[in-house]
Structure 1
Amino acid sequence: MRLPLRSTPLTLALALSFALTACSTTEANDPEPAYDPAADTADSPDPAREVVAAPRLRVRILARGLDKPWDVQQAPGGRLVVSERNKALISVVRDGEVRTLADMSNQVWVSGETGLMSLAVDRKRRVVWACHGDDSTGTEDVRVTRMQVDRSWTLVQSARTLIAGFPTSTGRHGGCRLLLARSGPDLYIGTGDAAIGTNPQDLDSLGGKVLRVHRDSGTAMRDNPWASAPTERRFVWTYGHRNVQGLAQRADGSVWSVEHGPTVDDEVNRLVPGGNYGWNPVPGYEESVPMTDDSLPGHQMDAQWSSGDSTRATSGAAWVEGSQWGSLEGTLAVAALEDEQMMFLRFDRRGRFVSILTPPALTKFGRLRSVTSARNGDLLVTTDNGTDQVLRVSPR
């Protein structure tokens, strides 16, 4: 199915705003004392401990004046591709110039937390995937669209639905994070439970799951846990999730998710094929139950990190790579909406939580929604305050 997308330029004023602000910076040096892992003999390290002080960070503002940019990804040629949730626009940012690549407002269903959400961009081919609410068929759902882009990255040549039918209700808990595997054709899709209590434990519902499909065909990967099933469960890689907001693949190949808890227990999970992560808010939609309900039949996967008795509204995540990051190399950068900060979480090789750091340089921009890695190791970050920015974070 080809979607009716159109390409339009943004206003000259907005483009000039980008050009004038591209060099804005803020820097800070974190004063926290060093943490000595050798002194820790406990099986579960204390989450309050801090990692060694971070390097000084440089934060450049690449874009202003956006409306809830849900995701930012790097494309070939140094371009950045940005989605705006409520306007349903996909834009390209390059050298201070902004151009609308696709206006999807005539088909994207926007309600509550649902709209145009996560993007994935092939760094070798001119292909973009978008996860979004949809009402083009007269029935609301959440789905993934695959788009082929022209050589100049000015318009979408063709578009088709890759996979559809993720459940919706009011627009609450729409998910929806995309991740291209480092190698191979895998596309991971984190979905929300649509605030419907039975979805997370129902293997034939695509809500409250991490799905794994072929990035070009949308078919279930042959080694998925239930790949031979004739039902929707053939797409399921893990289940028992509440609202997956972040996906990131570690250098060792493991895939990790970040999800919102209710008023407690935001989680970072290391994903295991076929794993049940224990969210089961029934009867109805009872949010006082634990994020991981150990009373369920079988084995439930515990979180690698949890916010405990508070919520930070954790969102996008990316593994920090490159020796230039010093003590932050190998940490998981997690954006936080409620806490308005970036958390750098350290896990050991076995996946056990070690420490957390929140650099002051990234507490000045309000709610942080998405964080992804640029090719040179810099972090690309979007804010979520209503009038928003795209940031580039690098170590000094």
Structure 2
Amino acid sequence: MSHHTHHTRPLRRHGRRAAALTALTIAIGALPVSADAVPDADAPQQAPSPQAPLRRAPSLQVRTVVSGLDNVWDIAFTPKGRMLFTERDIGRISTRGSDGVRRTLVSRVPNLWVSGETGLMGITVDPGFSSNHRFYTCHGFTGPGGGHDVRVVAWRTNDTATSAQVVKTLVRGIDTTSGRHGGCRLRLGGKRALFIGTGDAAITGSARDTSSLNGKVLRVDRNTGRAVPTNPFFNSSNANTRRLWTFGHRNVQGLALRPGGNMWSVEHGTYRDDEVNLLRAGGDYGWQAGPGYDESPPMTNHALPGRQIDAEWSSGNPTLAPSGAAWLKGPRWGSWNGALAVAFLKDQSVRIMHFSSGQLQSVVRPSALTAFGRLRAAQLGPGNVLYLTTDNGDGNDRVLAVTPTP
């Protein structure tokens, strides 16, 4: 089952190792895109088996499939390959069919609240979309009294997928203040489970407060919004606590389900230590701001009570602002098959990260994906093509299709 957890094992402290590898990656960023991944300096070097041919990294063909957009935050695909995507500040949900034509599905999400980093954010499509026409979004919401929060809602399109209406609010009450640290990525995983990555709303203590929905990865039933019975805190008397999968996060920006494995998250650091995390049920990922939202504590603070889980990758200092992520699959990806592709905003790049048994092995930064500005979303689409979105806010943001050629 896609949401099962690993057996308990010692928690690693390899932040310096990951940071050193990040620095090495930056240094080799100018290598040709077809260059093989750079090995971790600490990893044992083994000669390939004579019977096993060396897999090469692919060359990449990048094309624009949609343009003229603004702050494209997330992207999803129906089972038949129709693309849906969100634009954060204008609140538009659009589709692109096999004919290549962009159509507006929702011109502006009702009661949308836009401020800072918060607006219309994550989107994901129900696996039964062909029959139930359902998809899900996460966005800032303004109530009738002027208050605001972040909500996750279920939508249903008409039969021709030319319009959509909200059919249910699944989660409400994800706090937001100025709009800072609003999250909010959505991904499916396991039977009926919807994972929701939230931000701490720059509220001191929220990430470790298990009665708060902020600074968490939530796991809810996508039909009802209630907690999944196999959640780690399902026996709690608090409905919010029952929804928690993990806690101690600062601002979750990406979620990616490893095929046949666990959900992973991507998280923004302070002035240091962006993170990629392997999510373990009930895990504490160690973020706790100081009084007055002092951001000097480390992202994974082992001085806190309990046991904190180290990141699988960390940017070190300075931050690079990672966002969406997707696991690559298929033989056309060559040596990148099974690696995690992470989109970066500040660094304006994609990094291909190889993990084995949960440990980082290598990172490569393909130069072919450094010419498009800030990259927000990463999603595998039909034919195992990698789709990226730009988030430059210039009115000409794009959806890019990245096709590998071994």
Instruction: Identify the TM-score tier after normalising by the shorter chain.
Output: 0.7 to 0.9
1:212 maps to which of 202, 210, 219:
219
Instruction: Name the CA distance, whole Å, in 2 between partners of 1:169 and 1:327.
Output: 44
Q: Deviations over 1:173-194 (max 9, x none)?
A: 000000111x411000000000
Q: Deviations over 1:62-109 (max 9, x none)?
A: 111101010011124321101000000100112221111113344110
| Equivalent residue, structure 2, for 1:78 | 81
Change (3 A) 1:157 1:367: closer
Residue 113 of structure 1 pairs with residue 117 of structure 2: yes
| Equivalent residue, structure 1, for 2:196 | 189
Residue 174 of structure 1 pairs with residue 182 of structure 2: yes
Check the 8 A contact 2:153/2:166 in 1, yes or no.
no
Give the TM-score, by structure 2 length.
Answer: 0.85
Q: Deviations over 1:106-156 (max 9, x none)?
A: 411000000000001124322110000000343200010100111211011
Change (3 A) 1:80 1:34: closer
Q: Which amino acid aligns with 1:87?
A: I
Check the 8 A contact 2:43/2:361 in 1, yes or no.
no
Structure 1 residue 36: deviation in Å? Answer: 6.0
**3-state DSSP of counterpart to 2:332:** helix
Unaligned runs of 5+ in 1: 1-27, 43-50
Check the 8 A contact 1:205/1:233 in 2, yes or no.
yes
Instruction: Name the CA distance, whole Å, in 2 between partners of 1:104 and 1:227.
Output: 35
- Note the 1:264-343 alignment, pairs <5 A: 264-343=272-351
Q: Which amino acid aligns with 2:114?
A: V
Change (3 A) 1:39 1:135: closer
2:108 maps to which of 99, 104, 109:
104
Q: Which amino acid aligns with 1:210?
A: V
Change (3 A) 1:389 1:192: same
With a CA cutoff of 8 Å and minimum separation of 6, indicate the structure with the bigger relative contact order: 2
Instruction: Name the CA distance, whole Å, in 1 between partners of 2:185 and 2:245.
Output: 14
CA RMSD of aligned residues (A): 1.9
Q: Which amino acid aligns with 1:186?
A: A
Change (3 A) 1:113 1:52: farther
After TM superposition, the structure 1 stretch with the greater mean CA deviation from structure 2, 267-276 or 151-160, is 151-160
Instruction: Name the CA distance, whole Å, in 1 between partners of 2:96 and 2:340.
Output: 26
**3-state DSSP of counterpart to 2:67:** strand
| Equivalent residue, structure 2, for 1:60 | 63
Q: What is the count of residue pairs matched by the alignment? A: 359
Change (3 A) 1:173 1:52: farther
Change (3 A) 1:36 1:162: closer
Q: Which amino acid aligns with 2:314?
A: S
Q: Deviations over 1:202-248 (max 9, x none)?
A: 00010000000001111100011111222111111100000000001
Q: Which amino acid aligns with 2:398?
A: Q
Instruction: Name the CA distance, whole Å, in 2 between partners of 1:111 and 1:177.
Output: 17
Check the 8 A contact 1:379/1:394 in 2, yes or no.
yes
Check the 8 A contact 1:74/1:123 in 2, yes or no.
no
Residue 223 of structure 1 pairs with residue 227 of structure 2: no
After TM superposition, the structure 1 stretch with the greater mean CA deviation from structure 2, 131-140 or 261-270, is 131-140
| Equivalent residue, structure 1, for 2:49 | none
Structure 1 residue 35: deviation in Å? Answer: 4.7
After TM superposition, the structure 1 stretch with the greater mean CA deviation from structure 2, 30-39 or 246-255, is 30-39
| Equivalent residue, structure 2, for 1:134 | 141
Give the TM-score, by structure 1 length.
Answer: 0.87
**3-state DSSP of counterpart to 2:169:** strand
Check the 8 A contact 1:197/1:285 in 2, yes or no.
yes
**3-state DSSP of counterpart to 2:352:** strand
Unaligned runs of 5+ in 2: 1-30, 46-53
% same residue: 48
Q: Deviations over 1:304-343 (max 9, x none)?
A: 0000111110000000011110011111000000000000
After TM superposition, the structure 1 stretch with the greater mean CA deviation from structure 2, 100-109 or 365-374, is 100-109
**3-state DSSP of counterpart to 1:376:** helix
Q: Deviations over 1:267-320 (max 9, x none)?
A: 000001110000001212111110001011110000000001111100000000
| Equivalent residue, structure 2, for 1:380 | 387
Check the 8 A contact 1:315/1:337 in 2, yes or no.
yes
- Note the 1:1-12 alignment, pairs <5 A: none
